[in-house]
Amino acid sequence: MTWIYEARLYDSKAVAMYVAMNLRDSGGRQRLDNASVQVYRTRRGNYGVRYRTLDA
């Protein structure tokens, strides 16, 4: 299984967590669970969202 990264980076961790929450809530379409969606931090201090599907 590989990570799928969202194309956008966010300045705030709160915004990235909100996007991750929305991915989890709409996860019925992509079959996501809570552990498969993560917020990560880049070396420059921005935040992003990555996820794994259960099918992969």
Q: Residue 36's CB: how many other CB atoms inside 10 A?
A: 20
Q: Does the pLDDT value for residue 1 go beyond 90?
A: no
pLDDT at 27: 60
Q: Does the pLDDT value for residue 56 go beyond 90?
A: no
E strands, 1-56, in order: 4-5, 37-41, 47-51
Domain locations along the chain: 4-51
Its sign, for the CA torsion 27, 32, 34, 40, is negative
For the segment 3-53, what is each residue's pLDDT rounded down to a tens digit? 889 999 999 999 999 999 988 887 655 666 666 889 999 999 999 999 887
Confidence of residue 55 (pLDDT cuts 50, 70, 90): low
Q: What are the tokens at 19? A: 């996007």
pTM for the whole structure:
0.79
Please report, as a single letter, which amino acid is at residue 25. D
